[in-house]
Amino acid sequence: VINFNKSLNLFIKTDVAKYVEAFDSGEIFDRAVLAGAINHGLLDAIFTSKGFANDGLFALAKILEDVSGVCGNSRNFFLVSCGMFGKALERFNKNNFFVEDVYEKIRNGVAIGAVAHTEKSGGSDHRIFKTRLTRSNTGDFVLNGHKTWITFAGIADYFLVSCFLGEDLVFVLVPKSSLGIEIKLIESLSGNRGSGIADINFDGVVIQKNQIMPSMCDESKWPIFEWIFSVGRVLAASSAIGLIKASIKMSFLRLKSRESFGKKLIESQVWQQELAEMSSQLRAIECLRDISLNYLDEFKYDFLNSDCSMVKNIASNLAIQAAQMNVRVHGAYGYLESEPPNRLLREAVSFEFIEGTNYVLNRKIFAQISGQMIVQSGKNK
């Protein structure tokens, strides 16, 4: 653990911190960050041992937390390529040489992956998605459709694309080099500017059977779709935790150094109250995140447990509040786009949307609450 923490610190210092401004100005993610992660053994910590799919999830959560406080664009590499993409392949690569081969490339840092789910018609409701996989005359499949807002699409080597096959929503694993793929970067992003966020068009892309991921988790009858996004939500919460910690720390340092009305701002009880409240909520969120990580780690996966959604929701809300407080603490200076408080706020706002918007996840949480109440009222009769 000591070596891991040391390596992580060193990685952030030598390979991440120097890119923050360049990435925020729109320069696309540099694979040198990935090379640094390999050199410091971070990919080995994330993808520990083949066949034990969730080993390394805790290491990944810690990496996300620490990197997120410094550089949101580097964080996105760990969140999407290692987390949602890499961990999904690790879990579902059994007896599929193609998936196993791509997984090895991710594990060794040779390739980057992206998860393509959202469509122009609206990301929250997949039932209205138009991307489809149909059978071709030759017995293969053909993929047609359009995805938008895909983090790392501008740089990734492989995409996990959600699409309908008949009535089923499945994921297909598609190399970027496939014929019929067109990628267009999204301009004028508010934050996450170095993450190669792009639209992808799939026009008659030929897909073979071994590119189609299984649609169900092995140990439960729930779809792989739920599993990928549950992992994404817990990791998004870890990212939010990192951003909250960075905002609190930045605020504290500013309050300690700035004087007003004859005393340091930190001596004001108003700011002490804000910091105390923020830190208390942060602690509660960390506990729920750890419970959710355990829950994923032990494969206790069933639809009714919505801890992963809960922690994503409350962590993202607090991240936005903490980033706003940090801007407030810095006064007008916090309003400057080139300064860290402003960047943290722009990045925090995206947590509301990623891996399912907070309102939409609340539907899942409400389903669990109402289900429990119905069961409870039956027992009390």
Interaction site with ligand FAD (CB under 6 A) = 80, 115-118, 122-124, 149-151, 192, 197, 350, 353-354, 357, 359-360
Q: Which is nearer to ligand FAD, 223 or 274 (CB)?
A: 223
Torsion sign (Cα): 18, 21, 27, 33: positive
State the residue number with the nearest CB to ligand FAD.
123
Are residues 282 and 331 in contact, defined by beta-carbon separation less than 8 angstroms?
Answer: no
State the amino acid at position 70 in one-letter form: V
Instruction: Write out the DSSP string of 102-117.
Output: HHHHHHTTS--EEEE-
Query: Least distance in Å: CB of 116 to ligand FAD?
Result: 6
Query: Least distance in Å: CB of 158 to ligand FAD?
Result: 13
Q: Which is nearer to ligand FAD, 79 or 329 (CB)?
A: 79
In a 13 Å sphere around the CA of 241, the CA atoms on its Cβ side amount to 25
Query: How is residue 210 annotated by DSSP?
Result: G
Spatial separation of the C-alpha atoms in residues 53 and 36, rounded to whole Å: 24
Q: Which is nearer to ligand FAD, 12 or 80 (CB)?
A: 80
State the amino acid at position 75 in one-letter form: R
Spatial separation of the C-alpha atoms in residues 250 and 344, rounded to whole Å: 10
Q: Which is nearer to ligand FAD, 31 or 363 (CB)?
A: 363
Q: Which is nearer to ligand FAD, 38 or 189 (CB)?
A: 189
Query: Least distance in Å: CB of 349 to ligand FAD?
Result: 8
> In the structure encoding, which two tokens stand for residue 212, read together?
């189609």
Torsion sign (Cα): 358, 364, 367, 373: negative
Query: Least distance in Å: CB of 122 to ligand FAD?
Result: 4
- Beta strands (DSSP E) in the chain are 113-116, 132-135, 141-150, 158-165, 168-175, 181-185, 198-207, 259-260, 263-264
| Angular region, 342: left φ>0, alpha ψ -120 to 50, beta rest | alpha
Query: Least distance in Å: CB of 42 to ligand FAD?
Result: 21
Q: Which is nearer to ligand FAD, 65 or 347 (CB)?
A: 347
Query: Least distance in Å: CB of 198 to ligand FAD?
Result: 10
Q: Which is nearer to ligand FAD, 91 or 193 (CB)?
A: 193
Query: Least distance in Å: CB of 368 to ligand FAD?
Result: 16
